[in-house]
Chains A and B, each alone.
Chain A
Amino acid sequence: MRDSIEGISRRRLMAGAAILAAPAILPRRVFADEPVVDLHSPSGNSLRHISSAFPEKGPMIVHRTRPNWLEPRFEIFDKGVFTPNNQHYVSWHYQTFPTEVDPDKFTLAVRGHVEKPLTISMKDLLAMPRISLAAVSQCAGNSRLYFEPGVAGAPWANGSMANALWTGVPLRHVLDLAGIKPGAQVIRFAGADESPAEDTPRFMKSLSIDHARDGEVMLAFGINGEQLPLLNGFPLRLVVPGWVATYWIKALNDIEVLDQPDTNYWTVKGYRFPDVPDHTVAPGQTGYNLVSITKLFPRSFVTNLKDGDKVASGKPVYLRGIAFGGDCGVAKVELSLDGGQSWQAAKLGKDEGKYGFRRWESNLALPGTGAHAVSVRCTNSKGEAQPLKTTWNPQGYMRFNVETIKLTAA
């Protein structure tokens, strides 16, 4: 622990990040000269190192060194609606994927209940019909750090989300080449992140055949015009627009068509949350069913100011941020200064694709000096709006309530 305390006295100051003395519980630092950021968790586990030691990544908040749980500082979301590849968050279940990958030796298996099992090379994939679309990848546990009481799991702040322009082959094309046999039920996906121990369940997820063949679900090899970073699934990952990122299998190398339901742990037991309105229960509550997380829900954030900022009084404050609709586009983004009793519309930026981030901005008149709570709400094109009630469930999944920041006008 001594190392960490000594180290902290030397570390750099980070813009927008409060620097505190390390508490006794902070583990020893992995790397020299790393700054610490305070993520302001209500349950107290707020301090994280920021590290630039991960391949192809810039400075990332480290929630777990191995398997990697990394997210960017939130300020980066103010720079534009496409998240830079070197700031795209990272989340793995198992640190078993190879770190040396030759795309010329890569193969993707398409097998199971098909007419013609395939072994597809990267060269083959790069020669197939391709599409590009913008889509938000968001971890099911994004914002878990703000659950109160705190719950176990990846302790993400708000940054385990990213918008990218994905390029790849529509999954439908490959499935049709293999020919799905009558009687097929689901399609299961797995990657190079093998089980770390013999009996540990391999990480796999499934999609229905209709979903897998919708023409948008993609075998992606491109991200914002570049090959995928290793930590985001090089050389190939599944992209499931509008659905939570747990389905976006990284380092994808195995597609299996099943003629029966998928009973693997991660499909049947993992990634489930309460099947109740807004998926929100009270701590200790029982007597509800769990349901698999599937689609994303609408969310919106202020990105140019943060909670606790001071602004000049007597003139409108310029606010800007991002929103996404979930499995459809953004219809509107609104702001409230009275805890959600009344709302005023923000101006939406360019639509870069219904599954992506959408910029919003507003010149908001604050009623006088002092503290103001500014709430932001996204309503998607299906009419679904973020709820005011704070999301809470014991799994820490899918926070999507209206977010509020406090600004002080002086």
Chain B
Amino acid sequence: MIRTYALAAVLLMAGAAAQAGDLKTLKKINFDMPDDSAITFPAGPGEEAISGNCLACHSADHVMNQPPMDREHWHEVVEKMIKAYKAPITEEDAATIVDYLVRVKGKKE
């Protein structure tokens, strides 16, 4: 009964939104996404490792817009990328990437 009433209210709203109710067909779409190739990691030791491993799935601003974090937290982030998201990063590269992140986005102690 309560559910019926709620649905009636919803349908009344649908009536008010005649425009929405009138949506009869959808138009085909075709868009270009912005090119992010110009967003790069700052140069320095480890830049090749982070660019080579990380840019396949996400642009560099993903990393650069994170808060400054200490080594332990950056290590956790890189581990999550490998263990949860299965990023194919070698142990050696993972260590290089953590060092890079601590240098570029480390938390000032």
A residues neighboring B (CB under 8 Å): 1, 24-31, 41, 43-45, 48, 51, 53-56, 62-69, 94-95, 99-104, 122, 126, 130-134, 149-152, 155, 165, 167, 196-201, 214-216, 221-222, 224-227, 230, 234-235, 265, 269-270, 353
Contacts and interface: CB of A to CB of B under 8 A. Distances in A.
Contacts of A55: 31-33
A94 B39 contact: no
Contact of B42 (A25, A51, A201, A222): A25
Interface in B11-52: 11, 13-14, 17, 19-36, 38-42
Nearest to A49: B61
Contacts of A24: 42
A133 B69 contact: no
Given A65-B34, A99-B33, A197-B57, A27 B40 contact: yes
Contact of B11 (A68, A131, A155, A199): A131
Contact of A25 (B20, B31, B34, B105): B105
B31 to A, nearest CB: 4
Given A104-B28, A133-B13, A152-B66, 19 more contacts: A25-B42, A28-B38, A43-B68, A45-B67, A55-B31, A66-B33, A69-B62, A99-B30, A103-B25, A122-B26, A131-B7, A132-B13, A150-B67, A152-B69, A165-B17, A197-B86, A200-B87, A201-B86, A269-B84
A64 B20 contact: no
B65 A155 contact: yes
A62 B65 CA distance: 10
A269 B65 CA distance: 24
Contacts of A222: 20, 23
B31 A99 contact: yes
A64 B36 CA distance: 10
Interface of B: 3, 6-7, 10-11, 13-14, 17, 19-36, 38-42, 56-62, 64-69, 73, 76-77, 84-88, 104-105
Contacts of A270: 84
Nearest to A31: B34
The 10 tightest CB contacts between A and B, nearest first, are A150-B67, A225-B19, A55-B31, A199-B86, A132-B14, A103-B26, A167-B20, A43-B67, A65-B36, A100-B30
B34 A54 contact: yes
Contacts, number: 178
Nearest to B12: A132
A393 to B, nearest CB: 14
B6 to A, nearest CB: 7
A198 B61 CA distance: 24
B20 A224 contact: yes
Contacts of A45: 65-68
Contacts of A215: 3, 6-7, 10
A225 B17 contact: yes
Nearest to B36: A65
Given A94-B57, A152-B66, A152-B67, A200 B31 contact: no
B58 A63 contact: no
Nearest to A54: B34
Contact of B36 (A30, A151, A198): A30
Given A132-B17, A199-B86, A167 B31 contact: no
Contacts of A41: 67
Most buried by B among A27, A31, A45, A151: A27
B57 A196 contact: yes
B20 A165 contact: yes
A389 to B, nearest CB: 21
A269 B80 CA distance: 11
A132 B29 contact: no
18 contacts: A27-B40, A30-B35, A30-B38, A45-B65, A48-B65, A64-B65, A65-B36, A101-B29, A131-B11, A150-B67, A150-B68, A165-B13, A198-B86, A216-B10, A225-B17, A226-B23, A227-B23, A235-B26
